[in-house]
Chain A
Amino acid sequence: MRTRFQQQMEELREKLLRMGGLAELAVDRACQAYTERDLTRCQLVLENESLINAAEREIDELAFDILATQQPAAVDLRFILAVTKINADLERVGDQAVNIAERVMDMIELPAVELPVDIPRMATAVSAMVRRALESFVEGKAELAQAVLEMDHVVDRMRDEAFIVLVRRMNEEPQVTQQALDALLVARNLERVADHSTNIAEDVIFWVLGADVRHHAQSVSVAPAPRSESAH
């Protein structure tokens, strides 16, 4: 048993989980800021970004060290590759949260208007995707990750619907164009967060099963597969 190596792998896992927590918190705060037109939460999201960026660098450095010094193979190699990719996705989730927060800060300057779009519902769905993608990583379960992939279609549809109704509203009532455009951009940011969650779920499937399911490259059974006899 390579004790030092296992310690480093555990450290990498813990760092990524902390990073995941920061990214999840950023999305939740940005969504609450949108719903409640809350400037304080927007500022918290902006302040949080430097922590996410620092965490991203730390994770990359540790993964790089392990690759250079331990020559991991098989499931360990897949784990490290998955971690580096999830790391990049989480950093972009943080960026999207910042985009939403900045958008909300602009919106707060304008009069509030009723818009025919349920951004909070979309935010709830997207937050759930982030959370479940991270849960699939924590549990190392491909079936949880698969469920995240299936949720992406729902969010895509919400974004498309938001686009249609908000453009219509802009045409009908040009004086609310700015607010409608802000909402449209928030919907797009949320959809991007959903895409990153999907990427994370795909990386978890790669780690756990060794299967590349990106771009529908491969259809896999995510039920735990019976494996050949173990030596111990």
Chain B
Amino acid sequence: MGVGITVERLNAFYGKTQALFDINISVLANHATALIGPSGCGKSTFIRCLNRMHETIPEARVEGTVRIGDFSVYNGTSATQLRRRVGMVFQKANPFPTMSIYDNVAAGLKLNGFRKRKELNEIVERSLRSSALFDEVKDFLHKKSGASLSGGQQQRLCIARALAVQPEVLLMDEPCSALDPISTGKIEELIFQLKEQYTIVIVTHNMQQAARVAEFTGFFLLGKMIEFDKTEKVFTNPSDKRTEDYVTGRFG
């Protein structure tokens, strides 16, 4: 099951440049939360702070508190431990090109020393079913590489790979921006189903996508969280003029 995320007084920096300013947010477990905002507003930086990917960039640093369930992200726990609980899917599908479809999904588990073949088979199948890809690839799981799939299938393969380690939170950074409308529809449908089991945070440039898949939406601007509310409120009657100007296309 998914767990909630609590962020308090989060500030993020790239060297001397501050990218996030005092972000406070509570993400509800087993819900999809969308983050929207113009390019450079800090939404991707924010999502990367949730699984400590921000600090992989030279001179980048974070201040503040992030809790994933009862797990403190920046307080003595290893990034590896954290990332088993927090899966991530990126803008561009990035399957391991030389691995088979099966091995792509099993990679995380194998990396963690998981070797039981029967259970591994079950987890791979379950993950591929969860990402709505199994029926399309079941006949050539070991024969074809992940890179041989279409863009939409590759993205669902990456989702399966993230789900295989049974995370509690799934972060998605513009997962559909390189996909056609049909593949986008499949991913959105998937998000809708996955939130029964996982907590989902999705960064998107597509406001209609945020409106379709997320119960809550946060609007970022210039590194600040301007508004965070139920999605229908943000898209029908936002409280802040800046949010309204953004969702109505008056800027951004």
**A binding-site residues for B, Cβ under 8 Å:** 1-2, 5, 71-78, 210, 227-232
Can you show 10 pairs from A to B with CB atoms below 8 A apart? A1-B251, A73-B207, A75-B237, A76-B248, A78-B237, A210-B237, A228-B239, A228-B242, A229-B241, A231-B242
Question: CB distance A74 to B242 under 8 Å?
Answer: no
Question: CB distance B250 to A1 under 8 Å?
Answer: yes
**Measured between C-beta atoms, what is the minimum distance from A225 to chain B in Å?**
10
Q: A74-B238, A230-B245 are in contact. List 9 more A-B contacts (CB 8 A).
A: A5-B249, A71-B207, A73-B247, A74-B236, A74-B247, A75-B237, A229-B241, A232-B245, A232-B251
Point out the residues of chain B lying under 8 angstroms from A231, CB to CB.
Answer: 221, 241-242, 245, 251
Instruction: Kindly state the separation between the CA atoms of A210 and B236 in the bound complex, as whole angstroms.
Output: 8
Most chain-B Cβ atoms within 10 A of its Cβ — which of A73, A78, A227?
A73
Query: What is the size, in residues, of chain B's interface with A at 8 Å between Cβ atoms?
Result: 22
Question: CB distance A230 to B235 under 8 Å?
Answer: no
- The residue on B at minimum CB distance from A225 is B239
Point out the residues of chain B lying under 8 angstroms from A230, CB to CB.
Answer: 241-242, 245
**B binding-site residues for A, Cβ under 8 Å:** 207-208, 211, 221, 226-227, 235-245, 247-251
Point out the residues of chain A lying under 8 angstroms from B250, CB to CB.
Answer: 1-2
**Measured between C-beta atoms, what is the minimum distance from A82 to chain B in Å?**
12
Among B208, B241, B251, which residue has its beta carbon within 8 angstroms of that of A71? B208
Instruction: Kindly state the separation between the CA atoms of A2 and B251 in the bound complex, as whole angstroms.
Output: 9
Question: CB distance B242 to A77 under 8 Å?
Answer: no
Point out the residues of chain B lying under 8 angstroms from A227, CB to CB.
Answer: 239-241
Point out the residues of chain A lying under 8 angstroms from B245, CB to CB.
Answer: 230-232
**Measured between C-beta atoms, what is the minimum distance from A47 to chain B in Å?**
40
- The residue on A at minimum CB distance from B239 is A228
**Measured between C-beta atoms, what is the minimum distance from A214 to chain B in Å?**
16
Point out the residues of chain A lying under 8 angstroms from B242, CB to CB.
Answer: 228-231
Among A5, A72, A78, A228, which residue has its beta carbon within 8 angstroms of that of B241? A228
**Measured between C-beta atoms, what is the minimum distance from A172 to chain B in Å?**
55
Question: CB distance B235 to A77 under 8 Å?
Answer: yes
**Measured between C-beta atoms, what is the minimum distance from B224 to chain A in Å?**
11
- The residue on B at minimum CB distance from A210 is B237
**Measured between C-beta atoms, what is the minimum distance from A222 to chain B in Å?**
15
Most chain-B Cβ atoms within 10 A of its Cβ — which of A2, A71, A76, A228?
A228
Point out the residues of chain B lying under 8 angstroms from A232, CB to CB.
Answer: 245, 251
Instruction: Kindly state the separation between the CA atoms of A222 and B130 in the bound complex, as whole angstroms.
Output: 49
Instruction: Kindly state the separation between the CA atoms of A229 and B227 in the bound complex, as whole angstroms.
Output: 12
Question: CB distance B237 to A72 under 8 Å?
Answer: no
**Measured between C-beta atoms, what is the minimum distance from B80 to chain A in Å?**
40
Point out the residues of chain A lying under 8 angstroms from B207, CB to CB.
Answer: 71, 73
Point out the residues of chain A lying under 8 angstroms from B243, CB to CB.
Answer: 74
Closest 9 CB pairs of A and B: A210-B237, A228-B240, A231-B242, A230-B241, A73-B247, A2-B249, A73-B235, A74-B244, A76-B248
Point out the residues of chain A lying under 8 angstroms from B251, CB to CB.
Answer: 1, 231-232
**Measured between C-beta atoms, what is the minimum distance from B176 to chain A in Å?**
16
Point out the residues of chain A lying under 8 angstroms from B239, CB to CB.
Answer: 227-228
Instruction: Kindly state the separation between the CA atoms of A77 and B247 in the bound complex, as whole angstroms.
Output: 10
Q: A229-B242, A232-B251 are in contact. Are A74 and B237 (CB under 8 A)?
A: yes
